[in-house]
Amino acid sequence: MRWMWIDRVLELVPGERMVAIKNISLAEEHLHEHFAADPERGLPACPVMPASLIIEGMAQTSGILVGQVGAFREKVVLAKISIARIDRDAFPGDTLRYTATIERMDEAGASTRGVIERLDLHGQGEPEQIGRVDLMFSHVDRNRSGLAFPEHNFVFGESFRTLLQSSGFAME
Amino acid sequence: MTRDEIFEKVREVLVDALGVDDDEVTPDARLASDLGAESIDFLDITFKLEQVFEFKISEGEMFPTNVAQDPTYVQDGKVTPKGIAELRAKLPHFDFSEFEKDPQLRRIADVFTVSAIVSFVERKLDTNVAA
């Protein structure tokens, strides 16, 4: 399994905002455990996208937005989840839309705001906001602790390159 | 803006950035050992202060940077007298008098108190008005 929690980038305004979508599919193994049926308690299976992976989706969206500013040369790592609120569940067949905006950014890192919406099936009706995820990213090469990190950029690898290319955006 | 007004705004920033309760943010509270701030929180606090007080804080202006890497500042895990003098000159909002008695580098975060942040903002606002 590839650790990719967004499927397509819809919009990228450099240094400002990025919009990406995630289509939730029953082919995702973890949905069959989250949550499996519980015959003893008479509960049917209830596949729900885990909130932790919704946060990861927003972290990937926001991380690409922040990384793009430095042409993906900086290693941008998630350093803090400032706010994570998921108010409604998301199910197989749903599309999640992640909108990330940069709130502040300097050489050491960035803070981002993120809104998560659920688009209903077939795109009918209004998107419903189901959560907020605000994050902080650190540029690890310029971190203040003085720790050394590997030279190669382990953050933005081949999978992200493919995602951006298939969405019609160049990584360079 | 009075010092009390600045303190109230700084308190809000710290409650927000560190997830602590209002009453934990006292003037003497140390950001790291009392309020649990980690390195990324210092950047978060910097961003939030910039937003609330509408000024720009440059790197090294509020918290010291690269102290540990500089041998003229640190020897055998202790900050040298020259290092302390430089820190005082660059960061006048911090009170180094207690730290000076046992200047071990790992204790330096103890000077980052709530009242030091208030003093930083106070000086910064004064300078902005003067400029």
A53-105 confidence digits (pLDDT tens): 999 999 999 999 999 998 888 889 999 999 999 999 999 999 999 999 999 99
A111 → closest Cβ in B42, B44, B63: B44
What ranges do the domains of chain A cover?
A: 8-30+44-166
The contacts of residue A98 (CB under 8 Å, 6+ apart) are A6, A19, A20, A21, A22, A57, A58, A61, A114, A115, A116
Q: Within this chain, do residues B37 and B7 fall inside the same structural domain, yes or no? A: yes
Contact B73, B80 (CB under 8 A): yes
Residue B122 sits in the same domain as residue B93: no
Pair (B102, B85) in one structural domain: yes
Question: Tokens 């951006």 appear where?
Answer: A164
Percentage of residues of chain A with pLDDT beyond 70: 91
Q: Which CATH architecture has domain A8-30+44-166?
A: Roll (3.10)
Option in A103, A136, A146 nearest B43 (CB): A136
Q: CB A138 to CB B40 under 8 A?
A: yes
Across the interface, of A79, A106, A146, the residue whose CB is closest to B68 is A146
CA distances from B109 to A33, A36, A41 (A): 45, 48, 53
**CA angle (B125, B130, B131) in 5-degree steps:** 95
pLDDT, position B7: 98
Residue range A19-41: average pLDDT?
96
CB contact under 8 A, B43 and A145: no
Q: Are residues B74 and B48 in the same domain?
A: no
CA B90 to chain centre: 12
The pLDDT, as a whole number, for residue A147 is 58
Interface residue A167 vs chain B (CB under 8 A):
no
Q: Is A32 a catalytic residue?
A: no
Q: What is the mean pLDDT of chain B?
A: 92
Whether pLDDT at A146 is above 60: no
Please name the residue that has the structure tokens 């207690």: B98
Tell me: do B10 and B54 sit in the same domain.
yes
Residues of B in contact with A108 (CB under 8 A): 43, 59
Give the whole-number percent of chain A exceeding pLDDT 90.
Answer: 73
Cβ-Cβ pairs closer than 8 A, A with B, add up to: 36
Q: Name the residue facing A145 among B39, B47, B51 (closest C-beta).
A: B39
Torsion of CA B36, B89, A108, B16, to 10 degrees: 40
Residue A148 has pLDDT above 80, yes or no: no
| Closest-approach residue (CA) in chain A for B66 | A144
Decide if pLDDT at A143 tops 80.
no
Q: What is the CATH number of the domain that holds B49?
A: 1.10.1200.10
Residue numbers in B near A145 (CB within 8 A) = 39
- Say what the pLDDT of residue A161 is: 86
For residue A154, pLDDT beyond 90: no
The verdict on ipTM greater than 0.85 is no
Q: Is A108 touching B (CB cutoff 8 A)?
A: yes
Q: What is the distance of C-alpha A86 from the center of its chain? A: 14
Mean pLDDT by 10 residues, chain B (131 residues): 96 96 97 94 95 93 83 90 92 94 91 96 84 53
> What pLDDT does residue A13 have?
97
Please give the pLDDT value at position A124: 72
Q: Is the pLDDT of residue A144 over 60?
A: no
Q: Nearest CA to B65 among B39, B45, B41, B85?
A: B39
pLDDT tens figures, B68-97: 778 888 999 999 999 999 999 999 999 999
Look up the domain containing B74 and give its range: 64-111
Q: Total structural domains in chain B?
A: 2
What's the pLDDT at A142? 63
**B 65-84: CB under 8 A from A:** 65-66, 68-69
- Same domain? For B120 and B93 the reply is no
CB B43 within 8 A of CB A108: yes
How many beta carbons lie within 10 A of that of residue B47, not counting itself?
22
Catalytic residue among A30, A32, A34, A139: A34
Is the link from the previous residue into B99 a cis peptide, with omega within 30 of 0? Answer: no
